[in-house]
Amino acid sequence: MDFSPSDRVVAMRRLARDFCVQEVEPEELSLAAQGWTDLEERMAPVRERAKGTGLFAPHMPAEHGGAGLALLEQAQLSEVLGMHPLGHYAFNFAAPDVGNMELIHAWGTAAQKERWLGPLVRGEIRSTFLMTEPEHAGSNPVWMSTTAERRGDEWLLRGHKWFATAADGASVAVVMAMTDPQAANPYARASMFLVPTDSEGYELVRNISVMGHAGRGWLSHGELMLHGVRVPGDAVLGPVGGGFKLAQSRLEPGRIHHVSRWVGVCRRALDLMCRQAAQRELAPGRPLAGQQTVQEWIAESRAEIEAARLLVLQTAWKIDRQGEFREDVSLIKFHVAGVLQRVLDRAIQVHGALGMTDDTPLAFWYRHERAARIYDGPDEVHKRVVARSMLKPYGVNLRGLGDV
């Protein structure tokens, strides 16, 4: 048992931190106050320079142009990048591209990789992921209406999707659709498809207004219609009927990325909290830091963040060594989302009216990371996954008890 990061990780984190402070942080307040707007253009040279650190696309193997980090190392890096709202984007390590790259890398054919993976890893194009449907609860992954019918050599996709992050401006969509809606095994009904967004019948209906902004580009969530989109037979990603399995395989490391990013958000929020407590005076010579309540928020945040951080690292370490741990990933997903929300709330309270403004990144995180307890499975689903696993050794089968 040893909890220290390796020298390699220490160096990598220092490099990433310095880069973010110098190159990324200057843009973060404009993101908070004005949304995405012209950031794509302004971030392009930053991303070019990020390649120079050797940490660009850290989740991809070197042979595909990435930094080839193990999952534990990715988590340790993600924490540092997470301190800045644009950190992951700068390093091409942001959702939904990360998950899509991982999917294509793991399941794609050589042709699919050549067409989509290279440009994605180099940050030349963006992608989106079409799974959730407005008519169905996102927490039930086997219930959807979008279908893909085999028509000769082609597939015909029809459906209605939403909350497709970064659909606006994406070149390719990974689409989940029912290929065998009557299959006895509900987990074998769907398949995944790689759909060019310029296909006929593919329509981005709107960018959904989320927390006050419809958003643009990478920072948007699209609602889409597939009005009978035709894709060739080889547009299937992975096996036909393997959609659910791929979705799971995509979400699990993806959750590690999110969760370790949240640890970074928390650390930044705690830093801002301490800074504000030190600088803001209630009366001349009486800094906010002298308030016991503020001291307690700092201490409680510190404890929650540090404990959560270790839990995330242990999970990444286990997956690196032994492969999938669905219940461990669920455990950190809901736990860290809760820590995140509490820490952000305290940081805002310490900042008072300033915390409500976009003069710090706190308000941006406060409104957008409320989704942390919702997306990629709400808290309630992940708690059930953990409970199911915990109760199994006691002879309980939750699925048999009316579990969704």
Positions in 186-215 near a second copy (CB under 8 A): 208-214
Verify binding: residue 356, a second copy, rule CB under 8 A: yes
Strand 236-237 with 190-196, pairing: antiparallel
Q: Where in 141-170 is the site for a second copy (CB under 8 A)? A: 143, 162-163
The alpha helices in 224-325, defined as continuous H runs, are 243-279, 292-322
| Alpha carbon distance 324, 164 (integer Å) | 26
Distance of CA 259 to the CA centre of its chain: 8
Closest contact distance (angstroms) between CB of 395 and a second copy is 6
Q: Does 310 bind a second copy (CB under 8 A)?
A: yes
Q: Which stretch binds a second copy (CB under 8 A): 45-53, 138-146, 197-205, 234-242?
A: 138-146
Alpha-carbon gap, residue 175 to 229, rounded angstroms: 11
Distances (CA, A) of 227 to 121, 166, 199, 207, 325: 30, 20, 10, 18, 38
The SS3 call for residue 224 is strand
Please classify residue 56 by burial: count the beta carbons closer than 10 Å to its beta carbon, then call 0-12 exposed, 13-18 middle and 19+ buried. Answer: buried
Q: x-or-dash pattern for a second copy, window 6-25, by CB under 8 A?
A: x--x----------------
Asked whether position 140 contacts a second copy by CB under 8 A, the answer is yes
- Residue with Cβ nearer a second copy (188 or 231): 188
Stretch that binds a second copy, among 3-11, 174-182, 232-240, 242-250 (CB under 8 A): 3-11
- To a second copy, the closest distance from the beta carbon of 89 in angstroms equals 18
Among 62, 183, 205, 278, binds a second copy (CB under 8 A): 278
* Residue numbers 313-332 binding a second copy by CB under 8 A: 313-314, 317-318, 330-332
Taking each helix axis from N to C end, the angle separating 243-279 and 71-81, rounded to the nearest 10 degrees, works out to 40
* Amino acid identity at 362: L
Cβ distance to a second copy smaller for residue 191 or 276: 276
The least CB distance from residue 45 to a second copy, in Å, is: 25
Binding status of residue 139 toward a second copy by CB under 8 A: yes
- Taking CB under 8 A as the criterion, the residue among 42, 150, 151, 286 binding a second copy is 286
Work out how close the CB of 92 gets to a second copy at its nearest, in angstroms, rounded to a whole number: 25
CA distance 239 to 319: 24
- Indicate which single residue of 19, 244, 334, 365 sits in contact with a second copy (rule: CB under 8 A): 334
The first and second tokens of residue 180, run together, are 């065998």
How far is it, in rounded angstroms, from Cα 309 to Cα 287? 30
Segment interacting with a second copy, rule: CB under 8 A, options 30-38, 59-67, 241-249, 260-268: 30-38
- Give the footprint of a second copy on residues 47-86 (CB under 8 A): 72
Q: Name the DSSP class of 195.
A: E
Name which of 114 and 296 has its Cβ closer to a second copy: 296
> How far is C-alpha 213 from the chain's CA centre?
19
